[in-house]
Chains A and B, each alone.
Chain A
Amino acid sequence: ILNVEQSPQSLHVQEGDSTNFTCSFPSSNFYALHWYRWETAKSPEALFVMTLNGDEKKKGRISATLNTKEGYSYLYIKGSQPEDSATYLCAFKRYGGATNKLIFGTGTLLAVQP
């Protein structure tokens, strides 16, 4: 059974706070790790695709790191803004299998208070 775990389940922060979330995934047969940002009634927005151990990626105030040997990724948001409020999903893709299947965690719900 392939499990992707995300923590915390939800997070309430004040505007200007920095925050981070964790995604844990199986460390064997790693292929890629995806991060998405999902606002209600909108399409999940692709943030990062990470493939190499030690990868660090940045997009504005959001950055992510990847450790494939121990099976975790961190997502950081610097200086949170109300518009960052959304559910942040990570998804794991492994080698093998007949499809390019993404295995998702349940997400971290972020609420940023002005």
Chain B
Amino acid sequence: SAVISQKPSRDICQRGTSLTIQCQVDSQVTMMFWYRQQPGQSLTLIATANQGSEATYESGFVIDKFPISRPNLTFSTLTVSNMSPEDSSIYLCSVEAGDTYEQYFGPGTRLTVT
């Protein structure tokens, strides 16, 4: 299994500002994933972050809005840029265990944009 921590756990931000969310894993992993859950919606994949390469974004998500860094095999950041109230969501990072198909999640960052 993997133990994942995220910072901050929650934040209230003003529209037009940016927030960077940090994700730390207790073991080295190749791929890290960033998800969000808007109110009343499903958990949705934003992007996949591999160490040493550009993140791969899902349809509807762009790098200018959600830049991602992956400087090493245990850490990643997601920035939510130029925030609007529609960005109010829970943001979670996730990693996949090697050969067990299991995917583990952090506790999430609850973001409110006013």
Inter-subunit contact A104/B42 (CB<8 Å): yes
Question: Which residue on B lies nearest to A93, using beta carbons?
Answer: B101
Establish whether residues B56 and A104, one from each chain, have CB atoms under 8 Å apart when the complex forms: no
> What residue of chain A has the Cβ atom nearest to residue B106's Cβ?
A43
Q: In the complex the two chains form, is B42's CB within 8 Å of A49's CB?
A: no
Q: Are B45 and A98 in contact (CB under 8 A)?
A: no
Given contacts A34-B101, A49-B101, A100-B31, 4 further A-B contacts (CB under 8 A): A4-B42, A42-B107, A100-B33, A104-B42
Which residues of B are interface residues toward A (Cβ below 8 A)? 4, 9, 31, 33, 40-45, 48, 56, 58, 92, 96, 100-108, 110
A43 to B110, CA, bound (A): 12
Chain A positions within 8 Å of B, measured between CB atoms, are: 4, 32, 34, 36, 41-44, 46, 49, 51, 89, 91, 93, 98-107
Q: Looking at the complex, which one of B41, B92, B104, B106 makes contact with A46 (CB distance below 8 Å)?
A: B104
Q: Would you give the shortest CB distance from B91 to chain A, in whole angstroms?
A: 13
Give the residues in chain A near B9, CB-CB below 8 Å.
41
> When chains A and B are docked, how far (Å) is the Cα of A98 from the Cα of B110?
28
Quick check: B45 and A44 within 8 Å, CB to CB?
no
